[in-house]
Structure 1
Amino acid sequence: MGLATPPHRVFPNTSPHVPVFALGPYAAPHRDVVLAMKEKNNLVIRRHTGAVLDAALAHLEARGEIPHGAVLVPAPTRKASARARGGDPVEACCRATGRPVAAVLSLDARTADQSELDAAARRANLAGAVRLTGVPGDTCIIVDDVVTTGATLQASVETLLAHGADVAACLAICAA
Structure 2
Amino acid sequence: MGEQLLDLILPRACGGCGRAGIGWCAACADALSGPPIRIRPRADPGVPCWALAPYRGAPRRAVLAAKEHRRRDLATPLGASIARGLDILRDGSRPLILVPAPSRRVAARRRGGDPVLRAASVAASWLPDCRLVRMLCMRPGVRDSVGLSSSDRQHNLRGRIMVVPDCPPTRMFPANAEVVLVDDVLTTGATVSESVRALSDARVTVRAVLVTCAA
TM-score after normalising by structure 1: 0.93
1:140, distance to aligned residue in structure 2 (A):
1.2
Question: What residue in structure 1 maps to residue 155 of structure 2?
Answer: 124
* Greater Cα offset, 135-144 or 38-47: 135-144
Structure 2: stretches of 5+ with no match in the other structure: 1-29
* Residues 53 and 212 in structure 2, CA contact (< 8 A), matched pair in contact too: yes
Instruction: Give SS of 1:131's match.
Output: strand
- State how far apart, in whole Å, the 1-side matches of 2:116 and 2:201 are: 23
Question: What residue in structure 2 maps to residue 149 of structure 1?
Answer: 188
Question: What residue in structure 1 maps to residue 212 of structure 2?
Answer: 173
Aligned residues: 173
Query: Counterparts in 2 of 1:11-160, with a 5 A limit?
Result: 11-61=40-90, 68-97=94-123, 98=125, 99-133=130-164, 134=167, 136=170, 137=173, 138-160=177-199
- Matched AA of 1:70: L
* Residues 157 and 190 in structure 2, CA contact (< 8 A), matched pair in contact too: yes
Q: Which has the higher contact order (CA 8 A, sep 6+)?
A: 1
1:68, distance to aligned residue in structure 2 (A):
4.0
Q: Write the deviation string for residues 97-148 of structure 1: whole angstroms up to 9, x where unpaired.
A: 1141111111112100112111100110111100212354243111010000
Question: What residue in structure 1 maps to residue 31 of structure 2?
Answer: 2
- Matched AA of 2:189: G
1:67, distance to aligned residue in structure 2 (A):
7.4
Structure 1: stretches of 5+ with no match in the other structure: none
- State how far apart, in whole Å, the 2-side matches of 1:79 and 1:162 are: 22
TM-score after normalising by structure 2: 0.77
- Matched AA of 1:127: R
Percent sequence identity over aligned pairs: 35
> Over the residues paired in the alignment, what is the CA RMSD in angstroms?
1.5
* Residues 139 and 165 in structure 1, CA contact (< 8 A), matched pair in contact too: no
* Residues 70 and 111 in structure 2, CA contact (< 8 A), matched pair in contact too: yes
Instruction: Give SS of 1:23's match.
Output: strand
- State how far apart, in whole Å, the 2-side matches of 1:37 and 1:8 are: 22
